[in-house]
Amino acid sequence: MAQLLLGQTLSFASNPWHTPIAEAAIHERHGAVLVENGTIRAVGKADDLRAKHPDAKIINHGNHLIMAGFIDAHAHYSQTAIIASWGKRLIDWLNTYTFPEETRFADRTYADQVAETYLDLNLSNGITTACAYCTIHPESVDAYFEAAQKRGLRMLGGKVMMDRNAPDGLRDTAQSGYDDSKALLRKWHNTDRLSYVITPRFAPTSTEIQLEATGALWAEFPDCLMQTHLSEQSEEITWVRELFPDQQDYLAVYEHYGLTGPGAVLGHSIYLSDREWDAVKASGSSLAHCPTSNAFIGSGLFNAKRSHEMHIPTGLATDVGGGSSFSMLRTMASAYEIGQLRGDALHPAQLLWMATQGSADALRLGSKIGNLVAGREADIIVINLASTPVIEQRVARSENFWEQVFPTIMLGDDRAIDTVYINGQPIG
């Protein structure tokens, strides 16, 4: 039976980074979403859709906001257990927390436990899709995708490839990394709602031979995404320069091995030179903005304004567990704060776009998810815009819709997520 979800609705007619907000965002105070067979069939005014579809089952969400589910463009599900670990800088953090934790994923039982916890935490925070780094262990990939498949989720992920500068038990080889990734790709890519992502961790942990093999694998399967890290911290950039002295900059390493282009999702990308910005744009690569991580590990201030002015697909990302929260609301708040430190006041519509349609576009899923429009998959969240006393009292003073939404972005957490629909079905 068709379902008619009633409440406030928010969808986008165009990108609010490029179009005036009043034209880009469509808000219905008394709106409705018609869902049938896992697909959004119509979005509009409640009275109009009720008249057109009198037999639809009514689900009334009152004054709550109905919108597309959040999409996390860059995360490490294997770091779920070590989120909020005290640390110094990126390399110290990897050696102290990340690498020891990731060695545990050779144990399939442990990988299953973490995958279940990770997805449950995502859903409780309204994240309906994520693009995740697993570990070097094939078991970690199987655990992740099986847990996602069981929930009917549209999820992306891949086995990390590392053949140097990592501890014993956490390195593959150029050949085994290629072989394992190819086998996993053939097993999981386009199975149900799952997508495999070719995943070299970052240039310092792969030899030139492995990067060459990774580029060859992606050339064989160009419909897959490829994800990696780029220019997260200044020390990292210096390290890359030492490891690859023949390349003019960090991005050039990836360019040399065929690891840029449509479908490349480059995480962080804080310290790009003008040449690198232009090359990212020219290649058609995407960027993943990881604000809570960049603040927590002291990395720096990503230039979201520049990425959008250059029309580079840019998604928002928790970067769990370097990122300090599973909440996409907190992630948007951090993006706003980083924008403020750069002198760029990001509008709530721009933040919500990055967390939904922006991330979908960055992951080449923009025609399937990320917006509350007819024809998209019905991964939908319902947000309580008065979920805590402090938010409620602020909303009571609001004069327009954006003043109602912004306090939840800045102060909200999982308590604001009232309902999550996956393929049109409520979960939890």
The pLDDT-based confidence of 94 (bands split at 50, 70, 90) is confident
Whole-number pLDDT of residue 44 = 98
DSSP 8-state secondary structure symbol assigned to residue 127 = E
The pLDDT-based confidence of 269 (bands split at 50, 70, 90) is very high
Q: What percent of the chain has pLDDT over 90?
A: 95
Amino acid at 35: V
Residues 31 and 43 sit within 8 Å (Cβ to Cβ): yes
DSSP calls for 320-387? BTTBS-S-HHHHHHHHHHHHHHHT----HHHHHHIIIIIHHHHTT-TTTSSS-STTSB--EEEE-TT-
The per-residue pLDDT for range 303-346, each reduced to its tens digit, is 999 999 999 999 999 999 998 999 999 999 999 999 999 999 99
Please work out, in degrees rounded to the nearest 5, the angle formed at the alpha carbon of residue 229 by the alpha carbons of 294 and 366.
90
DSSP 8-state secondary structure symbol assigned to residue 78 = G
**pTM, entire model:** 0.97
pLDDT score of 349 more than 90: yes
Q: Please state the rounded mean pLDDT for residues 416-420.
A: 98
Beta bridge partners of 383: 65, 417
Rounded Cα gap, residues 236 and 213, in angstroms? 23
Whole-number pLDDT of residue 93 = 79
Tracing tokens 């819709």 back to the chain, one arrives at: 401
Q: Please state the rounded mean pLDDT for residues 116-141.
A: 98
Three-state secondary-structure class, residue 385: coil
CA 152 to chain centre: 18
Tracing tokens 């070299």 back to the chain, one arrives at: 200
pLDDT score of 106 more than 80: yes
The per-residue pLDDT for range 366-417, each reduced to its tens digit, is 999 999 999 999 999 999 999 999 999 999 999 999 999 999 999 999 999 9
Three-state secondary-structure class, residue 15: coil
**CB 287: neighbour CB atoms within 10 A?**
30
Whole-number pLDDT of residue 406 = 98
Q: Please state the rounded mean pLDDT for residues 280-291.
A: 98
pLDDT score of 89 more than 80: no
The per-residue pLDDT for range 191-241, each reduced to its tens digit, is 999 999 999 999 999 999 999 999 999 999 999 999 999 999 999 999 999
Tokens found for residue 418: 């009232």
The domains found in the chain, sorted by start residue, are 3-69+371-426 (2.30.40.10), 70-362 (3.20.20.140)
The whole-chain average pLDDT of the chain stands at: 97
pLDDT score of 90 more than 80: no
Rounded Cα gap, residues 298 and 109, in angstroms? 34
